[in-house]
Chains A and B, each alone.
Chain A
Amino acid sequence: MLINTVVLFLRDALPAFILVALLLNTTAKPLHQGRVISIGALVGAIASVLLMQGVLLSADWWSGIGNEVLFSVVLLVFYACALWHFCLLPTSKRWQHYGAMILLISVSVSLNGASLYTYLYSFWSRGEGNVLMLGTLLGIGISLCVAIILYYAAQWLALHHSRVVKGVLLLHIAGQMNQTLFYFEQIGWVSTGESLWNTSQLISERSEVGHFFTALVGYKEAPSIEYLGLFAVWVVIPIVVSTLYHNRSRNL
């Protein structure tokens, strides 16, 4: 139970921690980091409870595919927030920077925290609170350690190559967004073909490193052409949109 809680926590919460670490290094304007994180986490925690209620409601919709549709919609909201974040300039208003970051963090926390909340809630009601508490604390501790290391690595990278950190953030968002393909495949709306390669011998998705890369950039040991194609689309759209927006802003 304890190990299971830690594993689940790492799987579900790590993407949100990674996002925060990368976001804090890609803001065009210096912000009060503690305020951004705490508001984002709080709003996200409340949203994850609401989302789980929505998941409970939508579970039977459209012959049992409502959950996947709901999660895909929330992911699109997440992507819209990311687009907003990438379009912001240092000259943009401070509230816009705060808004984009808080929204991104809270949507990520709610998305990743929804299934974790289900697990914690069901076992908590069974009276296994102590183990869950310990597992949650361990999970938070490990995720926090990873996020802090990533934060300082990204900070060091940002000093030399600021665009690289933005690039990693873009890959992270594309990786998260590619879950839509997984959802659509799961409900039978799309079918993916054969995998192009298999790197399970090198980095298995089930290994700790594999988990980390999956959370960081949506790593897949055996990706299909559809997976890679969609990943590219998620990466290209913010680049095109932010370039066009920045050019337009300069011309005005």
Chain B
Amino acid sequence: MIRRWLGISALFLVPIACAAIPEYRLVIENNLFYPSTMHVPADIKFRLVIENKDDDPEEFDSFDLNREKVIFGKRSATIYVGPLKPGEYHYFGEYNPNSARGKIIAILPEQFVAPEQQTTSQKPSTKPLKKLLKVPLKKQAKKSAEKVAHPIKAAAPETAKTRETPAMSAIIKEEGHAY
């Protein structure tokens, strides 16, 4: 009886535990990853949903992240990544390694929230942040989709909305879809 209750409660607890993990989206289109550079907070486990908009399959592969998954055409796949140490983590499409390339930049969570505050008043205090803010987000939005850097977008729509800056909205408008 106890086992049964434990099993039933586990069924409910697992989705709750999953929901608490932030989610990021990556899109494969024309054998390219969008965004090609993604910023995520360090020291936090997150879910990476990869959507393949192409007809052909692609294999997401990363030596740095130790992840590898085949994503069939017009399908999505989910992988869990992290917690990552601050730094750059490169990934590529195994089937099109010359074109399908990208990187995830993990930044300390406190620094990660900072970019939005930076746009209003404060000055950047750390090196990675300075590097990140070298090109303002609005300018980046005008560049090609490959070069656009996306800030965090959490799984819960409310959270994503609260974190969405005007610059992010510009990016989303420009590209026609939200990541």
Interface residue range, chain B: 20 to 34
- Quick one: which of B66, B78, B94, B97 contacts A65, CB cutoff 8 A? B78
Residue of B nearest to A122 (CB): B56
Give residues of chain A (52-80) contacting chain B, Cβ–Cβ below 8 Å.
Answer: 55-56, 59-60, 63-65, 67
In contact, B76 and A185 (Cβ under 8 angstroms)? no
Residue of B nearest to A222 (CB): B66
Q: Which residues of A contact B78 (CB under 8 A)?
A: 63-65, 187
B77 close to A (CB within 8 Å): yes
The DSSP consensus for interface residues of chain A is helix
* A122-B57, A188-B45 known; A63+B18 contact, CB < 8 A: yes
In contact, B56 and A67 (Cβ under 8 angstroms)? no
* A67-B69, A122-B57, A186-B67 known; A4+B95 contact, CB < 8 A: yes
A96 close to B (CB within 8 Å): no
* A60-B75, A64-B78, A126-B56 known; A118+B67 contact, CB < 8 A: no
In contact, A59 and B79 (Cβ under 8 angstroms)? no
In angstroms, Cα B59 to Cα A146, docked, is: 26
In contact, B67 and A8 (Cβ under 8 angstroms)? no
Q: Mark A116-156, 1 if CB is under 8 A from B, else 0.
A: 00110011001000000000000000000000000000000
In angstroms, Cα B70 to Cα A115, docked, is: 7
Q: Which residues of A contact B83 (CB under 8 A)?
A: 191
Q: Mark B13-35, 1 if CB is under 8 A from A, else 0.
A: 00000100100000000000000
Residue of A nearest to B47 (CB): A188
Interchain nearest-CB distance for B49 vs A (Å): 8
In angstroms, Cα B178 to Cα A21, docked, is: 51
B72 close to A (CB within 8 Å): yes
A161 close to B (CB within 8 Å): no
- Quick one: which of A4, A56, A186 contacts B69, CB cutoff 8 A? A186
In contact, A55 and B70 (Cβ under 8 angstroms)? yes
Give residues of chain B (25-59) contacting chain A, Cβ–Cβ below 8 Å.
Answer: 45, 47, 49, 56-57, 59
In contact, B76 and A64 (Cβ under 8 angstroms)? yes
Q: Mark B83-107, 1 if CB is under 8 A from A, else 0.
A: 1000000000011010000000000
Interface residue ranges, A against B (CB under 8 Å): 4, 8, 55-56, 59-60, 63-65, 67, 115, 118-119, 122-123, 126, 182, 185-188, 191, 205-206
Pairs across A and B, CB under 8 Å, 8 listed: A4-B97, A8-B94, A59-B75, A60-B75, A122-B57, A122-B95, A123-B95, A188-B80
